[in-house]
Amino acid sequence: MATIEQLAARLEALEARIGPAPQAVPPVTIGELTDVPAPGSPIASQWAQEVSHRVIQRFANKAALDAWAAGNGAMAITLDNGVLYKRVTGGWSRFTSISGAAVGIGGSPVAGMVTIATITIPSDPGSRAGVLSAHCMLGVGAGGGDFQLLLDGSIQVTWRLLANQQQVAALTAHVNNITPGVAHTVTTRCTQPVTTYADGTFNQVGYSVTASI
């Protein structure tokens, strides 16, 4: 059996041939990641915790996701609908847009102000921007009027309606800095006498309203 001295001599000879054994290097920090294993160092248990909070986690649904109180900036996806989320101060914010639409044909001749359609967009805690659009076929009486597109009661764009004509109006609005954390309503309406032609034959309104926020 080799003695300790002989083994030490063999190890010294081996190191001379291949170089000294690598020494453990303390973990390093990269960005917000700490405990990043450096070459030749062991992988500490903290590293797995650091990484797990910075990869896209999978959850069965939104209810399961809401049970995870992750730090801001964490990412997750819900498998039931494939929606990607980012954690912000107020909760989980959707990366994909939230959309709504309303279409229809109807409405008897009416004067004054009439709301043609309203859609509701659910609340989201993140900062959002959106595109709103409305198309409508109208028969307008002698007074003319305005066709308007509103977000949360605030007029975004107006189309002037000509008097005594049947016409198609189209509106589009790009809205930035939409208030987070509350539901939103998108409304299209006509103001002033939106009535039939003088002969009273036009009595329908066709409309399409969409929003993506």
Distance, CA of 106 to CA of 147 (rounded, Å): 16
Cβ neighbours for 156, distance < 8 A, ≥ 6 positions apart = 132, 149, 150, 171, 173, 175
Q: In whole angstroms, what separates CA 63 from the centre of its chain? A: 18
Q: How do strand 75-78 and strand 56-59 relate by DSSP bridges?
A: parallel
Structure tokens at 124: 């989201």
Among the listed residues 84, 106, 118, 126, the one whose alpha carbon sits nearest the alpha carbon of residue 213: 126
Q: What is the mean pLDDT of each run of 10 residues along the chain (213 residues)?
A: 74 67 60 65 68 80 91 90 92 91 75 81 91 85 80 92 80 91 90 50 65 91
Contact 74, 54 (CB under 8 A): yes
Q: What is the pLDDT of residue 64?
A: 93
Q: What is the pLDDT of residue 169?
A: 84
> Please, which residues have CB within 8 angstroms of residue 201's CB and are 6 or more apart in sequence?
none
> Which pLDDT score is estimated for 31?
58
What is the structure's pLDDT at 77?
A: 93
The predicted structure's pLDDT at residue 168? 83
Strands, sheet with 56-59, edge to edge from the N-terminal-most edge strand: 56-59, 75-78, 83-88, 91-94
pLDDT for the residue 201: 35
Q: What is the dihedral of CA 114, 120, 125, 130, to 10 degrees?
A: -70
pTM: 0.70
| Residue 202: predicted pLDDT | 34
**Structural domains of the chain, ranges and CATH numbers in brackets:** 28-94 (no CATH), 99-212 (2.60.120.40)
